[in-house]
């Protein structure tokens, strides 16, 4: 196994800049210069993207930027001791000891274990003091290798007086605890015992924060005389906590930035949920909160069905209001619905291509009565012959059946976002009811919200342990389906159908200025947040109407074309501006992103412009909205239609008036590109402090 760190990967008492970006870029360059990465920019981009998600500064003047990257050829550790500390987001101030961990995408377990062990060592004050006192790079390497050679410390805190001595030998990473047997777990309540806690730590990369949070929590628990055992769900593997240990625990701590694997094991337990970094910064407070929750009958508990609700809980703890929760549920429903729509819409478009636009009248008969060995004799005149008619009918029917899941999938996954797995069945049923009644897209939203909240409320009820197994598979689906779908049939469905029919009639009647105004509005929405909630509302509105489109009602096809064309403008415009018109206004990273944005834009992936908008939102977003509005207006004005919900230029065969579709996109792209260049040159220029360039030694 190759050496993780060498003297050439160590820098002592250097000024590497004033921001985490400067430091990470410099260390990425050093890794590449030592032949351990194929490129600097790719490694930097991956590391800085990880840093942007969660700051890697930890208490004690330490930062551990890290990532997995395809640019890395072998697991590497680079270290810098800064003469000018840099703020990496730790609560106690800037960091002067920087450890940059670069792991390949397919890093072997041995390397990952060593990197994780190093991260644990960094919370030991004697180790960091020795690093600060080291005089040479070789001495630093020797200290690091010594830390890696030590036996890994147990995560388990010392067991307080009164607990069995054997319990102290339990593994915090999930090894079976010799002292907590099933018999102990079910011992009589009369025997006094100290509080027992369990915890799970996990971060997106699973190299550093996962293990540092575990050790910090254990150390804090030990000082309080509390028995705490931790399961680390990291990159180097995870061994589940013994079920007897979980059963004997009074509360659980989830210090995680990702979903907890096997969360149902902790069903019904009082829970403290927070980001993994809080486990490093405030372990004592988390332990105290867990102890308080264990005594509080009204404390938050892990749902009986093991729902993955971490994101919701974190947001609630930060004061998330009902509007934000509603937005998350709707976006979840839309994101799960889109594959049904995209796949189904493209199949329908292919069916039209091969079987002609009148294949809708023949499809059912052809797929049921004909085959490849018995081709149809009756089919539309514009079909590609008998074989084209048969294949077109098959493709159309598969696509139509896929689109039939649009409303049930939307409702089902809105309910899933609110109540997790027990919400799926009631949501799908409520969505099916909405589709049956003709309530459409709006009915699916209402039905999904009803089903989700009803299932959520039922799932939070405190029930006897013997009944818990029936809750997610029988009781919750039964009651939530009955109530939500019953309300749709009896009370809500009729008014929603009337609203939907009125909206469809209004859209079908739009002509002239009204249609152009709608195109402008849709273009503005598609370019406002580039794949965010407003963009998704416009896109969902368009795809929801495709199922009702026909040769007699082409308005949904016009709307779909305007939405798709407008959504292609932002990435194409950023590509044009950053790679052709004026490269100097954009950073090297943006120029690289611009090259990729050509393909992303042509494919109708609006998110291709996000790196540009994130770096300069006040200039990029107004410019994209201006171009998108122009494209939407032109598309509607010239009657451009799209029978496919996705694919951009690659579904040309499904675009009516394809020439004007291209013209509309080109006009919007040029407008946005010129606008963003003008804004970058003349609008709201910032005063930039002169910073003396830092020599980068690689």
Catalytic residues: 66, 203
Q: Are 178 and 170 in contact (CB under 8 A)?
A: yes
DSSP state of 298: T
Which residues are 72's β-sheet partners?
A: 37
Task: Measure the CA–CA gap between 301 and 251, rounded to whole angstroms.
Answer: 9
Q: Which helix (H) or strand (E) holds 307?
A: none
Q: Considering just the CA atoms, what is the radius of gyration of the chain in Å? A: 29
What the block records as the tokens of 336 is 């799960």
Q: Is 297 exposed, middle or buried (0-12, 13-18, 19+ CB in 10 A)?
A: exposed
Task: Measure the CA–CA gap between 391 and 404, rounded to whole angstroms.
Answer: 20
Q: Are 627 and 672 in contact (CB under 8 A)?
A: yes
Closest CA to 616 of 666, 651, 578, 671: 578
Find the helix packing angle between 658-682 and 555-576, rounded to 10°: 40
Closest CA to 77 of 39, 28, 41, 122: 28
> Which residue pairs, CB below 8 angstroms and at least 24 apart, start in 122-130?
122/58, 122/60, 122/62, 122/64, 122/97, 122/212, 123/58, 123/60, 123/212, 123/215, 123/216, 123/219, 123/280, 125/60, 128/60, 128/61, 128/62, 128/97
Q: Give the C-alpha distances (Å, rounded to integers) separating 133 from 8, 129, 304, 487.
A: 19, 6, 52, 71
Interacting residues of 222 by C-beta distance below 8 A, sequence separation 6+: 157, 158, 228
Closest CA to 412 of 425, 399, 402, 395: 425
For 68, phi then psi, to 5°, come to: -105, 140
Q: Is 170 exposed, middle or buried (0-12, 13-18, 19+ CB in 10 A)?
A: buried
Closest CA to 565 of 655, 469, 461, 505: 655
What the block records as the tokens of 48 is 């800085």
Residue in the structure block whose two tokens are 């997995």: 68
Q: Give the C-alpha distances (Å, rounded to integers) separating 313 from 259, 272, 564.
A: 12, 9, 35
Q: Which ranges of 170-321 would DSSP assign to H, the alpha helix?
A: 182-185, 209-224, 243-248, 276-281, 283-295, 310-317
Task: Measure the CA–CA gap between 664 and 566, rounded to whole angstroms.
Answer: 8
Task: Measure the CA–CA gap between 66 and 79, rounded to whole angstroms.
Answer: 12
């Amino acid at each position: 196994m190759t050496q993780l760190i060498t003297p050439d990967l160590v820098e002592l008492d250097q000024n590497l800049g004033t921001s985490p970006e400067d430091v990470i870029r410099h260390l990425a360059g050093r890794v590449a210069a030592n032949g351990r990465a194929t490129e600097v920019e790719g490694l930097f981009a991956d590391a800085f993207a990880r840093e942007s998600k969660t700051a890697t500064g930890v208490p004690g003047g330490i930062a551990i930027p890290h990532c997995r990257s395809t640019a890395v050829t072998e697991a590497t550790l680079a270290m810098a001791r800064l003469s000018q500390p840099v703020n990496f987001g730790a609560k106690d101030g800037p960091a002067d000891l920087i450890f940059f961990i670069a792991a390949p995408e397919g890093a072997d377990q041995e390397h990952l274990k060593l990197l994780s062990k190093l991260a644990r060592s960094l919370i030991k004050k004697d180790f960091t003091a020795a690093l600060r006192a080291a005089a040479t790079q070789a001495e630093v390497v020797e200290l690091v290798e010594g830390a890696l050679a030590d036996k890994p410390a147990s995560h388990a805190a010392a067991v307080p007086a009164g607990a069995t001595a054997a319990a102290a030998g339990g593994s915090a990473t999930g090894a079976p605890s010799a002292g907590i047997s099933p018999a102990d777990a079910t011992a009589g309540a009369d025997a006094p015992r100290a509080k027992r806690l369990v915890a799970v730590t996990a971060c997106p990369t699973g190299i550093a924060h996962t293990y540092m949070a575990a050790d910090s929590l254990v150390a804090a628990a030990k000082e309080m005389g509390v028995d705490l055992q931790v399961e680390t769900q990291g990159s180097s593997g995870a061994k589940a906590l013994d079920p007897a240990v979980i059963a004997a625990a009074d509360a659980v701590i989830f210090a995680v930035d990702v979903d907890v694997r096997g969360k149902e094991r902790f069903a019904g337990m009082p829970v403290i949920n927070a980001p993994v970094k809080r486990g490093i910064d405030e372990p004592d407070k988390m332990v105290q909160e867990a102890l308080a929750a264990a005594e509080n009958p009204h404390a938050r508990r892990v749902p009986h069905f093991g729902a993955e609700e971490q994101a919701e809980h974190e947001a609630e703890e930060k004061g998330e209001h009902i509007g934000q929760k509603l937005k998350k549920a709707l976006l979840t429903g839309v994101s799960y619905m889109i594959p049904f729509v995209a796949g189904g819409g493209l199949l329908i478009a292919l069916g039209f291509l091969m079987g002609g636009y009148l294949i809708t009248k023949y499809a059912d008969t052809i797929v049921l009565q004909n085959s490849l060995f018995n081709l149809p004799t009756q089919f539309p005149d514009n079909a590609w012959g008998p074989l084209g008619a048969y294949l077109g009918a098959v493709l159309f029917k598969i696509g139509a059946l896929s689109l039939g899941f649009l409303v049930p999938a939307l409702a089902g996954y809105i309910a899933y976002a609110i109540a997790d797995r027990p919400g799926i069945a009631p949501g799908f049923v409520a969505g099916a009811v909405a589709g049956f009644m003709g309530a459409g897209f709006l009915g699916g939203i209402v039905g999904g919200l009803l089903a989700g909240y009803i299932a959520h409320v039922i799932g939070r009820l405190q029930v006897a342990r013997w009944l818990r197994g029936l809750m997610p598979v029988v009781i919750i689906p039964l009651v939530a389906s009955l109530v939500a779908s019953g309300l749709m049939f009896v009370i809500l469905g009729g008014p929603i159908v009337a609203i939907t029919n009125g909206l469809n009639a209004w859209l079908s009647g739009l002509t002239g200025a009204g249609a152009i105004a709608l195109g402008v509005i849709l273009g503005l929405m598609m370019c406002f947040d580039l794949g965010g909630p407003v963009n998704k509302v416009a896109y969902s509105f368009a795809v929801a109407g495709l199922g009702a489109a026909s040769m007699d009602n082409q308005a949904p096809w016009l709307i779909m074309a305007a939405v798709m064309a407008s959504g292609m403008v932002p990435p194409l415009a950023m590509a044009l501006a950053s790679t052709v018109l004026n490269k100097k206004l954009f950073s090297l990273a943006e120029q690289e992103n611009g090259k990729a944005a050509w393909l992303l834009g042509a494919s109708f992936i609006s998110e291709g412009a996000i790196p540009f908008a994130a770096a300069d939102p006040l200039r990029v977003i107004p410019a994209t909205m201006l171009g998108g509005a122009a494209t939407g207006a032109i598309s509607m004005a010239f009657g451009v239609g799209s029978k496919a919900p996705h694919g951009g230029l690659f579904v040309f065969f499904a675009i009516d008036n394809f020439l004007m579709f291209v013209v509309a996109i080109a006009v919007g792209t040029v407008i946005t590109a010129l606008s963003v260049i003008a804004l970058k040159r003349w609008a709201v220029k910032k005063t930039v402090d002169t910073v003396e360039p830092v020599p980068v030694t690689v």
